[in-house]
Chain A
Amino acid sequence: MSNKTDNNISGSVLIVGGGIGGMQAALDLADGGFKVHMVQRDSSIGGIMVMLDKTFPTGDCSMCMISPKMVEVGRHLNIDIHSLSEVVSVKGQPGDFKVLVKHHPRYVDPAKCTGCGDCEAKCPKKIPSEFEQQLGPRKAIYSLFPQAVPNTRAIDAKNCIYFTKGKCKNCEKACKANAINYEDKGSEVELKVGAIILCPGLDRYDATVRGELGLGRWKNVLSSIQFERVLSASGPFKGEIKRPSDGRHPTKVAWIQCVGSRDSHKANPWCSSVCCMYATKQAIIAKEHDSHIEPTIFFMEMRAYGKDFDKYVERAKNDYNVRYQRAMVSIIREDPETNDLILRYALEDGTLVDEIFDLVILSIGLEPYKDAPEFAKIFKIEPNQYNFAKTSTFQPVQTSQKGIYVMGAYQGPKDIPETVMQGSAVAGAAMSLLSKARGTETVIRKLPPEIDVLNQEPRIGVFVCHCGINIAATVDVEKVVEAVKDLPNVVYATNTLYACSQDSQEMLKQLIKEHNLNRIVVASCTPRTHEPLFQETIREAGLNKYLFDLADIREQCSWCHMGNREAATKKAIKIAKMAIAKARLLEPLKSETVNVTPVAMVLGGGIAGITSALSLADQGYKVHLVEKEEELGGLIKNLYNTLEESNVQEFLKTKISEVKSHPNITVHTGVEVKKTDGFVGNFNTTLTNGVSFEHGAIILATGGVEYLPTEYFYQENEGVITQRELEKKLADGEPVKAGDTYIMIQCVGSREEPFQYCSRICCQDAIKNAISIKEKNPKTNVAILYRDIRTYGLKEDYYKKARDLGVLFIRYEVDKKPIIEPSGNKFIIKVWDYLLNKEIILSADHIVLSTGLRPHPSTEKVSGMYKVTRNQDGYFLEAHVKLRPVDFPSEGIFVTGLAHAPKNLDETISQALAAAGRAGVVLSHKQLAVSGLIAKHRKENCMSCLTCMRVCPFDSPYIAEDGRIAHNEVKCHGCGICAAVCPAKAFQVNNFRDDQILAMIDQATECELVVAEK
């Protein structure tokens, strides 16, 4: 296997942390030809996201999104999960690290455990569940949550009766697989890896420190993460919103923002970035669960800075009647008789109010994991002042050690999509570093040739699983075997204790050979987790993997009909018969492959395009970088410094010269794309200058433009300038005169219909320039007129710095905008002051407008050319807001930078690396396999009515050269919408053909003859 390169670079990567970001990086790397070791301190992967009920701003179910990804990680041939493990030490250099990993004892043998959970049921010890945030119990032998990966239970020795008192061993008695091992001492293993990715995740602020808010003291005060569990349908209250004190449904519910954030006193100075949005989400979801709820959110500033976030807040206000109260709650007291809570807060004009609520939720902030300082020492990386990993604007995922990358909340507070983006970004960075060792340590399964069964009569083998007692306690397994064994085409039927155990898999292979079985039905658990396992097994026995069907008689029968043995057995028989009916009609399916041209095209030569191009070129792929302007650089040609960095132009110059001198990059400037044909792996593009080339992936980095204001006398009066113009003046060294007054106006062209979105960069631009003015000449006056200051994350420091330097912040509301009147060389500004509750009049020498961002005008054309959709603001719409932030639904096309949404320089660079990582995965394959589960088109039945073309979400039916409909199977995802709408039934989905579905329905509706009693 090892085919090491000369300089001994390892083709393995260590990922420390198994949250959603680590999972994304692991899948990208393993799919891109690298071996991955994932070290996770919990007994399951999943991190924080598995605890959440829904996600903002789409309200998608969190577990439904992450669970298939966990299964994918858990089953990946080239990902090893080291759960309940920690890194002890690291030696070596980039490309060649030696990492010592400690596996803590689990006391359950993963090789024997089938995950059935019998042990957990028999364990007598109950303790508060960490996963349920102490609102529900777990056992001493446990899995973190029902969908845990790996599904092997673990014994919590600290709470186990056997380990603490020396007797019990109930779990050992209950385990029919003999997986319990009380002698487990754990182990240490040395791993050799080329790169290290750190994503240990986050901790939450301990709000009991702020005793005045009553968490842990008043029963009806919950933390926001507790409330996620309350909302969850699988949580302690099964999604019913109840007060912990009396189980009563609350009416008035309050959220208190910034608990533990933006506060240097007994808390953290930074903004946690996610709380405004999750509180809004929780309020909306609570209201959806129970329409009687009246939500109030107490906040300082509403930081809805992300894509479509402002619209979400507006919807909360207008459609869900969420009340947003701008106030800090100073104390919460409890009425001892009713357990109601009395909140004291001051209105903006200073009036003190006491208001009674039924339930209070504290929006607690994020902080680095409590072991972060130790963690940094193990990897010898430099932390920043708050113990997050130190990174820079220009290298947002690079730690102070080469070859060690960081992402997610350990780099700074951030939400799910940004974490996922960074996951792909670190994968891209590691793939660049280790490009020479790609494929050297990955494993490819060797398989026997497939037996040709196409013309054989179906010979079905049926295996009915006891699953320990999980199925057998409710369903009479022998009766099921008896009922199906003589059905037509059933050649062999038996029962098995655990169908999924190693020995059963071997038995299955043996029986396939002995009885010439050519269709297999297993009646056990859900196909969603176990189908791939059995498919692999029958493939190893020489059968096409699609000659298999799983009858779900556990999740959908025994577990929900306990104590109803007769009816459950009847139902299990029916489910098995349905699967057998389908199995009779199963046919072997071929997985086609297409070749991949290992070349990328990057459209747009701004910093996003430049970064993506360089990363892909370093990964070893040829890149065509296409820019319509004569010069590379895009919007940041006008950027001189950021809050953190001062040498943006120098950085840009270096990057441009790197691009121009890179042997793998061809730069095309002053041209546009004339047309692109083809599909993933096989695109062909012609430029307006006639140049054409083939490529396998596309990155759209078409960028954005700044809004050109028409308000506030801009371009009428030269005293009115934009932040960008001011930045240039300051960078050019134009003197800042003592006594001058600068008034900055925020949200010019943002957060108002028809541009109801936050441009994300303007608050920081204003603060950056304000600090710069004050530092150049402290004898100036600077005031920022704002709606909400959105210095999220660690940028909050600069908001504080600006205030400390004497910058004035005056809030205005959109319905009372400041009024400006030119007066000689000066301006008179009238603005309402909410603290004084009256209009104040200011005089200024300079008016500076913080203008918003817009998508580049070419976005519309590009969207039509590649058939990719845009949101209502004109930015490209990614395939999935949370988990596929740089993908499009069409394979092989990716998005990055301002073309996706407004963002800062560091975020643009992260996303550009992510797009390069995702594109690199596609290009790493010589061939792409197409799933067998796709729609098949029969041209002879087709009338070319084009109905399929209109409904296909993936653009796979097309008009062929003969003028009739043809089907591109590479693009097909097998959803079958075409099959449903086709009036001629020219489309059929493999394994979900109409005859197969109807055969199942026939079995499901089969009547038992009942002799009517007289």
Chain B
Amino acid sequence: MAKAAEADIKKEVPPIEKPHEIPPNWEPNVLAIACHYCAFAAADLAGVMRLSYPTNVKVVRIPCTGKLDYIHILHAFERGVDGVFVAG
């Protein structure tokens, strides 16, 4: 009885999207949103010091992390980005 009910519930609940199989050589696409005065400057300094990091990070500069809007983050995820990094 209990088992049958459980099976019913399982039927009603839409299947949760299974995590994707991560294909080999897959690289995530990461968006960094950086404050002009600190994090963007830090990204510059990383370059000046020739520190190496993967190429799949793109930086969007904003005047202050206080300017960050949830729509920016949601829009990025909507567009299929794999991670958003806010720094400031």
Binding site for B on A (CB under 8 A): 64, 67-68, 146-147, 233-234, 238, 526-528, 552, 554-562, 564, 567-568, 570-571, 574-575, 578, 933, 951, 974-977, 979-980, 989, 992, 994, 997-998, 1000-1002, 1004-1007
Of the candidates B37, B43, B49, B60, the one whose C-beta lies within 8 Å of that of A234 is B49
Of the candidates A528, A989, A1002, A1006, the one whose C-beta lies within 8 Å of that of B44 is A528
B residues less than 8 Å from A980 (CB atoms) = 66-69
The 10 A-B residue pairs with the shortest CB-CB distance, nearest first, are A976-B67, A555-B47, A977-B66, A559-B47, A1005-B79, A975-B64, A567-B55, A555-B44, A1004-B58, A146-B48
B residues less than 8 Å from A1005 (CB atoms) = 29, 31, 76, 79-81
A sample of 9 cross-chain residue pairs with beta-carbon separation below 8 angstroms, ordered by A number, consists of: A68-B37, A234-B49, A552-B44, A560-B47, A560-B53, A562-B50, A975-B66, A976-B66, A1001-B72
Closest chain B CB from A696 CB (angstroms): 27
- Contact A575–B58 (Cβ < 8 Å): yes
Of the candidates A527, A552, A562, A976, the one whose C-beta lies within 8 Å of that of B62 is A976
B side interface size, CB within 8 A: 38
Whether, in the assembled complex, B75 has its beta carbon less than 8 Å from a beta carbon of chain A, the answer is yes
A554 CA to B53 CA, complexed, in Å: 14
Q: Known contacts A574-B58, A1001-B79, A1005-B31; decide if A994 and B71 are in contact (CB<8 Å).
A: yes
Residue of B nearest to A117 (CB): B48
- Contact A992–B49 (Cβ < 8 Å): no
Q: Known contacts A562-B52, A980-B68; decide if A556 and B60 are in contact (CB<8 Å).
A: no
Closest chain A CB from B51 CB (angstroms): 6
Closest chain B CB from A440 CB (angstroms): 36
Whether, in the assembled complex, B87 has its beta carbon less than 8 Å from a beta carbon of chain A, the answer is no
A67 CA to B48 CA, complexed, in Å: 14
Residue of B nearest to A527 (CB): B61
For the complex with contacts A976-B64, A1004-B31, A1005-B80, 16 further pairs of A-B residues with Cβ separation under 8 Å are A555-B47, A558-B47, A560-B46, A561-B55, A571-B56, A571-B58, A574-B58, A975-B67, A976-B62, A976-B63, A979-B69, A980-B67, A997-B60, A1000-B60, A1005-B31, A1005-B79
A556 CA to B59 CA, complexed, in Å: 8
- Contact B67–A528 (Cβ < 8 Å): no
- Contact A979–B67 (Cβ < 8 Å): yes
- Contact B44–A1001 (Cβ < 8 Å): no
A residues less than 8 Å from B48 (CB atoms) = 146-147, 234, 555, 559
A residues less than 8 Å from B29 (CB atoms) = 1004-1005, 1007
B residues less than 8 Å from A1001 (CB atoms) = 31, 60, 72, 75-76, 79, 81
B residues less than 8 Å from A975 (CB atoms) = 63-64, 66-67
Of the candidates B31, B43, B49, B62, the one whose C-beta lies within 8 Å of that of A556 is B43
A1000 CA to B41 CA, complexed, in Å: 19
Of the candidates B50, B61, B79, the one whose C-beta lies within 8 Å of that of A559 is B50
A residues less than 8 Å from B31 (CB atoms) = 1001, 1004-1005
- Contact A64–B67 (Cβ < 8 Å): no
- Contact B69–A933 (Cβ < 8 Å): no
A residues less than 8 Å from B63 (CB atoms) = 933, 974-976, 989, 992
- Contact A556–B47 (Cβ < 8 Å): yes
A residues less than 8 Å from B38 (CB atoms) = 64
- Contact A561–B40 (Cβ < 8 Å): no
A residues less than 8 Å from B61 (CB atoms) = 527
Closest chain A CB from B21 CB (angstroms): 12
Residue of A nearest to B72 (CB): A997
A residues less than 8 Å from B58 (CB atoms) = 571, 574-575, 578, 1004
A233 CA to B58 CA, complexed, in Å: 22
A147 CA to B41 CA, complexed, in Å: 11
A337 CA to B38 CA, complexed, in Å: 44
Closest chain A CB from B50 CB (angstroms): 6
- Contact B69–A146 (Cβ < 8 Å): no
Of the candidates A146, A527, A571, A1000, the one whose C-beta lies within 8 Å of that of B49 is A146
B residues less than 8 Å from A578 (CB atoms) = 58, 60
- Contact A555–B43 (Cβ < 8 Å): yes
Q: Known contacts A556-B43, A561-B55, A1004-B31; decide if A994 and B69 are in contact (CB<8 Å).
A: yes
B residues less than 8 Å from A68 (CB atoms) = 37
Closest chain A CB from B35 CB (angstroms): 9
A residues less than 8 Å from B51 (CB atoms) = 560
- Contact A234–B45 (Cβ < 8 Å): yes
Closest chain B CB from A991 CB (angstroms): 9
